[in-house]
Amino acid sequence: MGEWVDVTGTDGAFKAYVARPDGPPKAAVVAIQEIFGVNANMRGKADWLAREGFLAISPDLFWRLEPGVDLTDQSEAEWKKAFDLMNRFDAAKGVADIQATIAYARGLVGGGKVGAIGYCLGGLLAYLTACHTDCDAAVGYYGVSIDQRLGDAAGIKTPLMLHIAEKDQFVHKPAQDAIRAGLGGNPHVTLHFYADQDHAFTREGGAHYDAAAAQIADGRTIAFLKQALA
């Protein structure tokens, strides 16, 4: 369903995977990668968004470190490499690349609205995208380290939805409580908590995938995006 395109950012060009709907797109959505790169799972997320009527684009945000990263969560070696990439990743440059991708995507939909959706590391980046770019809406799934960037929330001026797994092994309860306290009163922010879920509960094939919870979260996401990007 998809194709690879070149997006020009402030530091150079990088690849992005584009999935197009069958008919005219409702809007565009930037699909922001986990720590495994724009792998089959992320391309699948973009394809899902395209089936829902959006033009989806997933940029390769690790391109400065290693272009074309395509890992799975199925081996210890891949996890080790993924964590190494995450630890060396510059989030500010990632947000700049997302802004360039938003501008590119806006051109593909005739200047229309562009949202963002991200998972894990991409969940943090979706939050930062809401804080620091001109996106029209953003959704973050089990974003890591958001509690350490709550000061950025002053920049949120468009709708943001966060899905938070209450048993997240990477986002413990104190961090969740900080997010609830720091963002819960923001009129732009909608928080959804999933009591029995661990990190990556919507990653198909992952150890913590929960089909029922994923269906609920994804249903909320699509309804939110269709309203916010209408």
Neighbours of 87 (CB within 10 A): 8
Beta-bridge partners for 5: 16
| Annotated catalytic residue, options 168, 198, 210, 218 | 168
d(CA 198, CA 186): 25
* pLDDT on residue 1: 65
Quick one: tokens of 125?
């980046």
* pLDDT on residue 157: 96
Is 199 labeled as catalytic in the residue annotation? yes
Place of tokens 């990743």: 89
Distance in Å from the first CA to the final CA of the chain:
24
Residue 224: domain span = 2-228
pLDDT in tens, the chain (230 residues): 699 999 999 999 999 999 999 999 999 999 999 999 999 999 999 999 999 999 999 999 999 999 999 999 999 999 999 999 999 999 999 999 999 999 999 999 999 999 999 999 999 999 999 999 999 999 999 999 999 999 999 999 999 999 999 999 999 999 999 999 999 999 999 999 999 999 999 999 999 999 999 999 999 999 999 999 99
Is 196 labeled as catalytic in the residue annotation? no
d(CA 201, CA 23): 30
Quick one: tokens of 123?
């969940």
pTM of the model: 0.97
- Report the CATH number that the domain containing residue 169 is assigned in CATH: 3.40.50.1820
- Pairing label, strands 55-59, 189-194: unpaired
Domain count, the chain: 1
| Annotated catalytic residue, options 199, 208, 210, 218 | 199
